[in-house]
């Protein structure tokens, strides 16, 4: 039976359907799935009855190595699958861990157990946002690097999730290594031994699968938090913020969740976020992964 594949939204995204009610997602062809992912950047798998365990197994089947996420509560025995951001507020467009770009994952996955009215997961094609941006705004982001940071990260969590050491000294050594090897990366240990991690980087990145320029970053979340944006300490000029707001409004795409859906997003090209919701039964879980070296 021929498999049904449809467009997801107005861009390159795709929905791939199971051929029957009990098809195992692990039976999908690895080569064809990866090809579809590389060309579309967002793939929704529907009708496969995905659970957190399946999400992990499928990611591994495609040769992605799951990564741990220190910022979210985990729900599986390996600590790979997490609940999404707490609360019911809208979350602005961002690429996952783009404020800590040395650990930016290649792929972010979302699985849906319980969809509710509202609370749609949103996504934006960073290539499209960049292409539609005015010449002046593009020039600004080409000329000025952005300064993204996350603060108050407990050092033991950094060790446990990312760095692999046991003591604060191990943590410091690993961070020194990162600072030596990644231009723009720096850190500061706060008085209470939590850590500020800072990254000075370009807001425009090359996509991993198509080598195109993409506006795929953490800028909009930082702006909404009232933070400084650029390396010189300046914030987004008002006219630039207005332009970005219009672009994000115009090009937002929605994932119309059904229970058992799985979505795979290229984190080097697409940003994600969500709409606000009122129903606390919503249950979406997430996983990040990198292309495996094996
Ligand atoms: Fe996120």
Ligand 1 mean position, distance from CA 270 (Å): 11
Ligand 1 mean position, distance from CA 274 (Å): 9
Query: In whole numbers, what is the pLDDT of the chain averaged over residues?
Result: 90
User: Which pLDDT belongs to residue 53?
Assistant: 86
Structure-model confidence comparison of residues 161 and 173, the more confident one:
173
- Asked if the model's pLDDT at residue 260 lies above 70, the reply is yes
Residue 73 CB partners (closer than 8 Å, separation 6+) = 82, 83, 86
User: Which pLDDT belongs to residue 171?
Assistant: 92
Segments of the chain assigned to CATH 3.60.130.10: 5-88+103-125+253-291
Ligand 1 mean position, distance from CA 38 (Å): 20
DSSP state of 3: P
Ligand 1 mean position, distance from CA 22 (Å): 30
Q: What are the pLDDT digits (tens) for 102-137? A: 888 999 999 999 999 888 999 999 999 999 999 999
Ligand 1 mean position, distance from CA 220 (Å): 12
Residue 23, φ and ψ in degrees, nearest 5 = -70, 135
CA separation (Å) from 210 to 62, 122, 207, 269? 19, 22, 6, 9
Q: Indicate the pLDDT class of residue 294, thresholds 50, 70 and 90.
A: very low
Ligand 1 mean position, distance from CA 95 (Å): 6
- Asked if the model's pLDDT at residue 225 lies above 70, the reply is yes
Q: Using CB atoms within 10 A of its CB, is residue 56 exposed (0-12), middle (13-18) or buried (19+)? A: buried
- Asked if the model's pLDDT at residue 11 lies above 80, the reply is yes
Domain 5-88+103-125+253-291 falls in which CATH fold?
Double-stranded beta-helix (3.60.130)
Ligand 1 mean position, distance from CA 47 (Å): 24
Q: Indicate the pLDDT class of residue 293, thresholds 50, 70 and 90.
A: very low
User: Which pLDDT belongs to residue 28?
Assistant: 94
Ligand 1 mean position, distance from CA 96 (Å): 5
Q: What is the mean pLDDT of residues 91-106?
A: 89
* Percent of the chain topping pLDDT 90: 67
Ligand 1 mean position, distance from CA 272 (Å): 6
- Asked if the model's pLDDT at residue 91 lies above 90, the reply is yes
User: Which pLDDT belongs to residue 291?
Assistant: 80
Least confident residue range of 60-64, 146-150, 176-180: 60-64
Q: Which of 224, 257, 254 is nearest to 241 (CA)?
A: 224
Instruction: Tell me which residues have their CB within 5 A of the ion that is ligand 1.
Output: 96
User: Which pLDDT belongs to residue 75?
Assistant: 66
Instruction: Output the six-digit token pair for 148.
Output: 């993204």
Residue 153, φ and ψ in degrees, nearest 5 = -85, 125
- Asked if the model's pLDDT at residue 248 lies above 70, the reply is yes
Ligand 1 mean position, distance from CA 100 (Å): 12
């Amino acid at each position: 039976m021929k498999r049904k594949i449809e467009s997801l939204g107005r861009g390159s995204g795709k929905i791939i359907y199971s051929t029957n009610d009990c098809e195992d997602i692990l039976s999908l062809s690895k080569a064809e799935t990866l090809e579809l992912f590389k060309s579309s950047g967002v793939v929704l798998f529907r009708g496969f009855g995905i659970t957190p365990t399946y999400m992990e197994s499928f990611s591994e089947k495609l040769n992605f190595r799951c990564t741990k996420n220190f910022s979210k509560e985990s729900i599986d025995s390996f600590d790979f699958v997490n609940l999404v951001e707490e609360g019911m507020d809208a979350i602005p467009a961002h690429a996952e861990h783009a404020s800590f770009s040395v650990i930016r994952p290649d792929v972010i996955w979302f699985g849906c157990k319980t969809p509710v009215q509202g609370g749609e997961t949103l996504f934006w094609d960073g290539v499209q946002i960049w292409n539609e941006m005015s010449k002046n705004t593009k020039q600004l982001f080409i000329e000025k690097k952005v300064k993204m940071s996350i603060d108050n990260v407990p050092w033991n969590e950094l060790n446990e999730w990312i760095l692999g050491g046991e003591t604060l000294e191990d943590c410091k050594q690993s961070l020194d290594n990162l600072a030596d090897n990644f231009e723009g990366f720096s850190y500061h240990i706060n008085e209470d031994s939590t850590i500020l991690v800072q990254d000075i980087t370009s807001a425009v990145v090359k996509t991993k699968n198509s080598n195109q320029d993409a506006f795929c970053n953490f800028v909009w979340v930082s702006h909404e938090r009232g933070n400084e944006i650029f390396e010189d300490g300046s914030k987004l000029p008002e006219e630039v913020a207005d332009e970005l707001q219009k672009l994000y409004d115009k090009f937002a795409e929605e994932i119309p969740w059904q229970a058992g859906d799985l979505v795979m997003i290229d984190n080097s090209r697409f940003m994600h976020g969500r709409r606000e919701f009122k129903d606390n039964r919503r249950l979406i879980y997430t996983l990040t992964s990198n292309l495996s070296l094996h």
